[in-house]
Structure 1
Amino acid sequence: TPKRAVKFFTFEQYKKLLGLTPLSAGLALSVAGLGSGLTEAIVVNPFEVVKVSLQANRDSFKEARLIINSGGFGLKGLNKGLTSTLGRHGVFNMIYFGFYFNVKDAIPASPDPTLEFMRKFAIGLTSGTISSCVNIPFDVAKSRIQGPQPGPGEIKYRTCFQTMGLVYREEGYVSRRSQPGGDSFFRFHV
């Protein structure tokens, strides 16, 4: 997808650029991941705003026009929830790429193709799991800010950290109202 292309292309560019600095390789990979995530977030956020709005209204062009007409291109329009999206993508990519490449280099490669596949698979799975767990609060905040507000004419979810705090205070760290596909800090079913 174009989103993944942006992620991996920008990661490689930041990695090359940071290779020219005195940063350690491990830190450079994490910072390159952060940079790729922030770049990815800026590119995808307008599409995310429309996507979340489409979950309630199915006409994409009509919905995009409505968002632009009511809020413009700024933080109340197509870039609504940008801080949360920056956090979601930046944190995920920083941890994912930093962890993956540092651990991959620390664990010796295997000459056996099956064992080598399993090594990379396990590192990728662990890296993705940790990254997902850390970025979920940003994802919840993004969905709440970009989605329909609980009451007509009321804006309950305004900013990234205000929304995180509000969700934590009202629903707890592990939401008891979590449903399959629901948006809680962690999608555990209790």
Structure 2
Amino acid sequence: MSNVQKKPLPFIYNFTAGAIAGISEILTFYPLDVVKTRMQLETGKSKYGLVGSFRAIIAEEGFGRLYRGLVPPLMMEAPKRATKFAANDFWGKIFLKMTGQAKMDQSISILTGCSAGATESFVVVPFELVKIKLQDKASRFAGPWDCVKQIIAKDGILGLYSGMEATFWRHLWWNGGYFGSIFQVKALLPPAESPQAQLMNNFISGTVGGCVGTMLNTPFDVVKSRIQGSEHLPGVTPKYNWTYPALLTIFREEGPAALYKGFVPKVLRLAPGGGVLLLVVEFTLGIFRKALGPPYI
């Protein structure tokens, strides 16, 4: 057996695999994201649980409302997921070189994931903002472009970056938990002896990673939804502005459980969604390696 290490794929292939994986995940799980946002925007005690929220949206607004705001996430998912996996690859190489280590360990995986999440956050903010505005039950916008035009007219181009700081923390914590958990779970799973077993290992580790990432970042997601869903009135200081003070405000006024509003639909989406992401990424990268041949195989 050859001991020659296979060559890393060029950036464009990691970028493309991430884009394909992201679109696959969002088309599968998007209605759960709508329900999650509705639950997070609701202040005080929640009226509905997961099933009740689904029923209320369908009964009051129609089934199509579960796909309200789908266009911005679809436009976002390709660059978002592509940036996630490409940045994870980039930062992984940087940190390995900085530490002088030849292989990833748990701490480098977490550091790499956090850095990839921070990088990703700068790409997604405008898309996330428009998505939240459209998913809100009180939304008055005709569609994505109407939303963008009204935000720019009112707040200027920088208005599209409302919630940037909260988005930064949300993505940093999710990616740190996601990629750090993937490394640990893969180390615990038995070695794959077939391509099918390798795909299953990727799905299991990605699902666990998605669950851990969701547990870590849900409070930051709640704050981000509140910041991006609120109206900014001239001369009025927003109730939710900076992330950590907002966490304390919600904790004090609504209790600790409020920081996990929308957790159930979020974890139902991002746990298996994390598995789907890693499964599709690794499967797609495998196809690319076979097409390119040695030394990538």
The interval holding the TM-score normalised by the smaller chain is 0.7 to 0.9
Number of residue pairs aligned between Structure 1 and Structure 2: 180
Q: CA RMSD in A?
A: 2.8
User: 1:72 Cα deviation (Å)?
Assistant: 2.4
Counterparts of 2:195 and 2:174 in 1: how far apart (Å)?
29
Which of 84, 87, 95 is residue 10 of structure 1 equivalent to?
Answer: 87
User: 1:167 Cα deviation (Å)?
Assistant: 1.5
User: 1:114 Cα deviation (Å)?
Assistant: 5.2
In the alignment, structure 1 residue 39 sits paired with structure 2 residue 119: yes
> What amino acid sits opposite 1:99 in the alignment?
S
Residues 1:39 and 1:129: Cα distance change in structure 2 (over 3 Å): same
Counterparts of 1:63 and 1:121 in 2: how far apart (Å)?
36
SS in 1 for 2:261: coil
- Higher helix content, 1 or 2: 2
Counterparts of 1:124 and 1:68 in 2: how far apart (Å)?
38
Residues 1:151 and 1:64: Cα distance change in structure 2 (over 3 Å): closer
Which of 79, 85, 88 is residue 161 of structure 2 equivalent to?
Answer: 79
> What amino acid sits opposite 2:179 in the alignment?
F
Residues 1:121 and 1:59: Cα distance change in structure 2 (over 3 Å): closer
Q: Is the 8 A contact 2:114 2:175 kept in 1?
A: yes
User: TM-score scaled by structure 2?
Assistant: 0.54
Q: Identify unmatched segments of 5+ residues in structure 1.
A: none
Give the structure 1 partner of residue 146 of structure 2: 62
> What amino acid sits opposite 2:83 in the alignment?
V
Counterparts of 2:86 and 2:172 in 1: how far apart (Å)?
15
Give the structure 2 partner of residue 95 of structure 1: 177
Give the structure 2 partner of residue 137 of structure 1: 219
Counterparts of 1:84 and 1:50 in 2: how far apart (Å)?
15
Which of 174, 185, 201 is residue 119 of structure 1 equivalent to?
Answer: 201
User: 1:69 Cα deviation (Å)?
Assistant: 2.7
> What amino acid sits opposite 2:257 in the alignment?
V
Q: Identify unmatched segments of 5+ residues in structure 2.
A: 1-76, 266-297
Q: Write out per-residue CA displacement over residues 2-59 of structure 1, whole angstroms, 9 at most, x where no aligned residue.
A: 1111111111111112120117632222111111111111100011112222231233
> What amino acid sits opposite 2:180 in the alignment?
G
Tell me the percent identity. Answer: 33
Larger radius of gyration: 2
Q: Is the 8 A contact 2:178 2:210 kept in 1?
A: yes
Counterparts of 1:23 and 1:100 in 2: how far apart (Å)?
22
